[in-house]
Amino acid sequence: MNAETMSSKHGLAAGLVPTRADWTIDQGWEHYSAQEHATWKTLFERQSRLLPGRACDEFVQGMRDLPIAADAIPDFRRLNDVLMQRTGWQVVAVPGLVPDEVFFEHLANRRFPSGHFIRKPHELDYLEEPDVFHDVFGHVPMLMNPAIADYIQAYGQGGLRAQKLGVLDKLARVYWYTVEFGLVQQKDGLRIYGAGIASSASETVFALDDASPNRVRFDLPRVMRTRYRIDDFQETYFVINHLDELLSLANIDFAPLYAQVQHQPEYAPGQVLPDDVVLTRGTGMYHDARRGGK
């Protein structure tokens, strides 16, 4: 998956008319074609080859416990039987991008909106909107984990507040650098827990193995001030030491932090600061080349 996918994740898709007030639709699992199931299988098998030794233990466990397999796009009804019982979350189908407040309202009520469609077979690495592979393969295994389950619900509640305060960009960065592109230090090394990485073959390798990006210890006010790449791999990945750190984030009152960072300068995506705890100082080669070489 290209990072561009998430650029307007919560934005309003032009021309889409919701069928219900909360924008949900029926998944219509029976209507997927053989070709669509085959695309899922291709993506599933590609990620399944890459993720052992790269995805965090909780992702692997969540995947193991869910009715998600290579042979078919998962049926949300069957997913929800397991997910509801484990963490009280459910997956709901949406036709594509939904407005911010609709997205937050779902998360605040432990409903994860998932695109019901799947990308085209000739565009396996390009997405304009999150599809069922990104949303289900990337996000749902982590929603089986109690810490992530609480954290994402708190993000939904926080999103509704941040919107009123006009500071949504600050909060969105926290989501971006954790839920979508987060890394966690585990006993055998750095591991992926962010769905944007876990659902992307190329970023799975880039985020962990490439010399180019920075890997920096997560720090909340610092992350709030850090812009991100919406059209390419991240220049910096932020690393937590344990998923339970997200639980404490879920309980922090962000309001004083917003006030603190609101008038401070922002950081560029690839910037390394004197106070950073740097795990890997990236060469920056990849993005330099993309900018025209240096």
Catalytic center residues: 134, 139, 180, 199
Q: Are 206 and 213 in contact (CB under 8 A)?
A: yes
Alpha-carbon distance 191 to 153, whole Å? 23
Site for Fe ion, rule CB under 5 A: 195
Alpha-carbon distance 268 to 256, whole Å? 23
Which CB atom, from 194 or from 282, has the smaller least distance to Fe ion? 194
Alpha-carbon distance values, 208 to 175, 181, 214, 215 (Å)? 19, 11, 10, 9
How far apart are CB 6 and Fe ion at their closest, in Å? 6
By Cβ distance, which residue is nearest to Fe ion?
195
How far apart are CB 139 and Fe ion at their closest, in Å? 6
Which CB atom, from 97 or from 147, has the smaller least distance to Fe ion? 97
For the record, the structure tokens of 242 come out as 């344990």
Which CB atom, from 192 or from 261, has the smaller least distance to Fe ion? 192
- Give the residue from 115, 88, 156 showing the smallest Cα distance to 1: 115
How far apart are CB 195 and Fe ion at their closest, in Å? 5
Which CB atom, from 10 or from 222, has the smaller least distance to Fe ion? 10
For the record, the structure tokens of 17 come out as 């008319």
Which CB atom, from 142 or from 224, has the smaller least distance to Fe ion? 142
Q: 93 in helix, strand or coil?
A: strand
Angle at 240 between CA 239 and CA 241, to 5 degrees: 125
How far apart are CB 134 and Fe ion at their closest, in Å? 6
Q: Are 114 and 94 in contact (CB under 8 A)?
A: yes
Alpha-carbon distance values, 66 to 106, 127, 132, 177 (Å)? 21, 25, 15, 25
Backbone angles phi, psi at 5, to 5 degrees: -45, -40
How far apart are CB 268 and Fe ion at their closest, in Å? 23
